[in-house]
Amino acid sequence: MTSHETHRIPVAESAEPVAEELSSPGGTPLTTLGWAEARTRLSDSGDFLLATSTAGGRVHVVPVLGVWSDGAVCVVTGRRTRKARDLAENDSCAITVPGHDVDIVVEGTAHLVRDTAWLRRIADLFPSKYPWWHPFVADGEFHDPADTALGNPQHVFAVVPTVVFAFGKEDGFSATRWRFPGKPLAVATEGALR
C-alpha cells in the first residue's frame, strides 16, 4: 500500500469515535478521559513519536513536529527522510503522544497533504506550539524561512486515526480505545489518492 496524497480537505473530524474500555489485570478502566479531552491533549502536545515501517516490516520510530488539524495528526518531515520513504511504501503508521498521566497512541493512515488551503492552516498552527519555526507553503510543501533557495522542502502527512488508545499511568494501569466508524477519511480527491 502506498501513501495517499490528498489535494482536498478531509472530513474525519465529524466522525465521532466509539469508546471501548480496556483494562490490564487488576487495572481500572480509564473511563474518565473522554474523546474531547484526548483530542485536546493531541492538540496541545508538542511531543510526537512517529512509528513507520518499510514494506518489508522494518520498524522506524522518531520524534517529529506535529499538530492536530481537521481530524488528523499532521506531521512534518523532509521528503528524502526514511520516514517519508516508509510512508510512501506503507501508509499505515502510529503516533505516540507521551503525557505525565496518560500516553495516547494514534494508529492510522498517512496522507500526503498537497491542498494549499489546508497546508496554510496547518502552517499557522506551528508557531504557537514551536515558536522557533514559522513554515510557509510553496508548491504543495512546507519550507523553512531560512531556506531562501527552497532547497529543503518538507512533506506534511496527515495521519487520520482509525483507532486511538489512551493508557493511564496512575493508580494502576488502565486504558480506553476509541474506534472510528466507517471509512476513516472521506476525501473528494478527483483521482488524487494513490
Q: Is residue 193 part of a domain?
A: no
Question: Is the model's pLDDT at 156 over the cut of 70?
Answer: yes
Overall domain count for the chain: 1
At residue 183, the pLDDT reads 46
For the stretch 44-58, pLDDT in tens is 999 999 999 988 889
pTM here is: 0.84
Q: Which residues pair with 48 in a beta bridge?
A: 64
The confidence score (pLDDT) of residue 22 equals 72
Report if residue 78 sits inside a domain. yes
From CA 119, how far away is CA 177, in angstroms rounded? 29
Classify residue 188: in a domain, yes or no: no
Confidence check: pLDDT of 190 > 70: no
The per-residue pLDDT of the chain, averaged, comes to: 83
Q: What pLDDT, on a 0 to 100 scale, did the predictor assign at position 69?
A: 95
What's the pLDDT at 25? 57
C-alpha cell at 110: 498517512
The pLDDT assigned to 182 comes to: 63
Full residue range of the structural domain in which residue 25 is found: 4-179
- In this structure, how many other beta carbons lie within 10 angstroms of the beta carbon of residue 75? 25
Report if residue 185 sits inside a domain.
Answer: no
The pLDDT, as a whole number, for residue 61 is 98
**Residue 168 within any structural domain of the chain:** yes
SS3 115: coil
Tell me whether residue 135 is in a domain.
yes
Question: pLDDT higher for 56 or 3?
Answer: 56
> How far apart are alpha carbons 12 and 69 in whole angstroms?
10
pLDDT range class, residue 150, cuts 50, 70, 90:
low
CATH code: domain of residue 107: 2.30.110.10
**pLDDT above 50 for 186:** no
Q: How far is residue 143 CA from its own chain's centroid?
A: 19
Share of the chain above pLDDT 70, in %: 77
Q: What is the pLDDT of residues 60-112, one digit of tens each?
A: 999 999 999 999 999 999 989 999 999 999 999 999 999 998 999 999 999 99
Confirm whether 122 is domain-assigned: yes
